[in-house]
Amino acid sequence: MTKTMTGSATAPFPTPARSVAHMLQERVRVAPNSSAFMRRTQTGWTTISWQNFNEQVVHIAAGLIGLGLKNEERVAIASMTRYEWVAADLGILTAGGAVTTVYAQTEPDDVAYILNDSETKFVFAENEEQLTKLRNRKHQIPNVQKVIVFEGRGDGDWVISLDELEEMGRQQLRSTPRLVSDRIETIKSENLATLMYTSGTTGRPKGVVLLHSNWAFEGATIETLGFLRSDDVQMLWLPLAHSFGSVLLAAQLQIGFTTAVDGQVDRLVENLSFVKPTFMGAVPRIFEKIYAKVTGDVEHEGGAKAKIFNWALNVGVNAAKAKRIQGIEPDRATKAQLAIANKLVFSKLQKRMGGRIRFFVSGAAALSTDVAWFFEAAGLTILEGYGLTETSAATTLNRPHSVGIGTVGEIFNGMEIKLDTDGEILIKGPGVMKGYHNLPEETAKCFTSDGWFRTGDIGEIDEQGRVKITDRKKDLVKTSNGKFVALSFIESKYKGITKIASNMIAQAINKPFVAALVAVDADSLKAFADQRKLEGSYSSLLRDKAVTDQIAGEIDQLNRTLNPWEQIKEFRVLPTDLAIESGELTPSMKVKRDAVGKRYQSLIEEMYANK
């Protein structure tokens, strides 16, 4: 028997805008002088109002129309997350065009494939690195008529600068003042808005067809949640080539909060201190690294500091669990203990995060419950959510008043979710994609006969209507002994234990037991070595007994929490960390299990030899 959950039918639901362009125009009408974006420059941060942002967007749109862009024709953006991406994205949509997303890390061959598959006419390229990819394959991308660079100058022919495009737009508007406003009125809700190419854990990228109606719905349904406000400040660093980053822009257009934009992850802590955001979206790896560093530093220091920290963490976690699981508010004595714990321990972490965080939002992969409880104890609630590119990112989310750690929260208003007979999560509603571009057979496979989207995730729905993801359907594997093992579950639990690893890649399919490959994070390894006065390169440190003993001890600790058939009997440490550039991680930091398995096949075979 399947269980179906439907978003609230009684929640006040604003009528979704006709298009993303209309969302922007309405935001400018309502709050022209309010802060829209904070932009990092060489001299610091500058703030841009909705009115000024819209002026730039209109100039970009007019420039694109002047180049010949027609409705639903594709314009790609190949860049890291930065303010110019946002302006270009909205400029394309305001001109009636559609955005083709290209991660900055995408390999040149895949860039050419995406541009050809999408029939892209124009490309916004971030810098010389992205431009070189295009120039070296110019003969392979005949549809690309012009490249617009965010950094650098044009060449007087195929390449122009963003400034030149905007000047072209201004000239167009001088002769035809209603050029852009007339174009906006031709955009329909069913028009293509984004061809979002999933990085994918296997095979070629697939273009997910997302319409203006998808993004407008997401903005409207997020507004009904009621906990994002126009006076909020968001720190946005997530890739805008990913649906997680894009849906946060849709929410901003609907609600009107300020967004500080800088995709440089190495500047994140510095940016948090300056921007002082009230919320931020992030992938679990960010929270895992903070957790591992804090707990690792305390464990190494030991003594009184460790005792105080462990006491504070125990007080915080117990109080958080009493509140979140049992609905029990802290009594006077517990409140006094929490105040001391906050002053001595947690306030320092809160300050590092900017000092004003109301909550974080986590998505794109599973969040370790140990990590989640740590942040909850520290007064830095993480709202874990769930969705896919194919559902415009946001489908379920924990609410601040009813956080269910270990779940991905309740379904959004206007959407439906149910479990198939095998436990697979099925989704229906206005957030679901139209299909995969140029892939009718793939599209047909991912929908049931009555129109439910197959997520490929196995899950449960609790009595409060909160969804719990138990595994990817393809990661629930059977050992040669006939036992089913959820690989993702094991890997996620390990992330709440390890102080130095970035990822565990568990193995079990048709094998007699579970084994694992362990990838070590370079920064965490360096900190571990410095604390113990170990010297050597990354490679030599991996062979150091202190490091291998640390990993072995962590796996022993993990095994004590697992069923006998789930326990890891053998492991090997990988010679390098997994990386996007080497094809082992997607740009959203998901492990490409097949790619890792292929590269390290000999290590896997070694673990099972003579067993």
The burial of 545, by beta-carbon neighbours within 10 Å (0-12 exposed, 13-18 middle, 19 or more buried), is given as: exposed
In a domain, 41, yes or no: yes
Among 278, 309, 333, residue at a domain's last position: 278
**Which domain range does residue 577 map to?**
479-608
Give the DSSP per-residue string, 561-574.
Answer: TS-GGGSEEEEEE-
What is the structure's pLDDT at 3?
58
189: phi then psi, degrees, rounded to nearest 5: -60, -30
Provide the token pair at 320. 């958080």
List the CATH number of the domain containing 550.
Answer: 3.30.300.30
pLDDT value, residue 564: 85
Pairing type for strands 424-428 and 453-461 reads antiparallel
CATH number assigned to the domain comprising residue 465: 3.40.50.12780
Structural domain includes residue 309: yes
Q: Please report the pLDDT score of residue 488 as a whole number.
A: 82
**Whether 39 and 180 share a structural domain:** yes
Residue 397 belongs to a domain: yes
Question: Residue 154 maps to which CATH number?
Answer: 3.40.50.980
Q: Which two tokens stand for residue 316?
A: 């915080």
- Residues 212, 140 within the same domain: yes
The Cβ of residue 258 has, within 10 Å, a number of other Cβ atoms equal to: 21
245 and 325 together in one domain: no
The type of residue at 246 is S
pLDDT for residue 203: 64
For the chain, how many structural domains are there in total? 3
Q: Are 475 and 486 in contact (CB under 8 A)?
A: yes
Comparing CA positions, the residue from 475, 207, 246 lying closest to residue 363 is 246
> 171 in a domain, yes or no?
yes
Of 278, 305, 335, the residue at which a domain comes to its end is 278
Regarding whether 80 and 181 lie in a shared domain, the answer is yes
Of all helices (H) and strands (E), which one includes residue 46?
Answer: strand 44-49
Does residue 228 sit in the same domain as residue 362?
no
pLDDT in tens, 245-278: 999 999 999 999 999 999 998 899 899 999 999 9
Position 229 in a domain:
yes
Buried b (16+ CB within 10 A) or exposed e, 308-321: ebeebbebbbbbbe
**Residue 265 sits in the same domain as residue 400:** no
- Please give the Cα distance from 165 to 122 (Å, whole number): 12
Q: Is residue 181 domain-shared with residue 263, that is, in the same domain?
A: yes
| Residues of the chain above pLDDT 70, percent | 96
Point out the domain boundary residue: 413, 440, 473.
473
Considering only CA atoms, which of 495, 438, 500 is closest in space to residue 287?
A: 495
Question: Is 441 within the bounds of a domain?
Answer: yes
**Neighbour tally for 467: CB within 10 Å:** 25
In a domain, 368, yes or no: yes
In this prediction the pTM is 0.84
User: With a cut of 70, which residues of the chain have pLDDT below it?
Assistant: 1-12, 199-203, 475-476, 478, 480-481, 610-611
- Tokens 């697979």, located at residue: 424
| H or E element at residue 233 | strand 233-236
Q: Are residues 490 and 368 in the same domain?
A: no
Same domain, 259 and 378: no
CA distances from 364 to 281, 413, 587, 591 (A): 10, 20, 11, 12
Rg of the chain (C-alpha set): 25
Are 461 and 1 contacting, i.e. CB atoms less than 8 angstroms apart?
no
Q: Do residues 523 and 374 both lie within one domain?
A: no
Residues 543 and 584 in one domain: yes
Contacts 24+ apart (CB under 8 A), 26-34: 27/253, 27/254, 27/256, 28/54, 30/256, 31/230, 31/256, 34/230, 34/256, 34/258
Distance CA 470, CA 367 (A): 12
Residue 15 within any structural domain of the chain = no
| Residue 96: closest CA among 237, 192, 203 | 192
Residues 264 and 221 in one domain: yes
Q: How far apart are CA 181 and CA 87, in angstroms?
A: 17
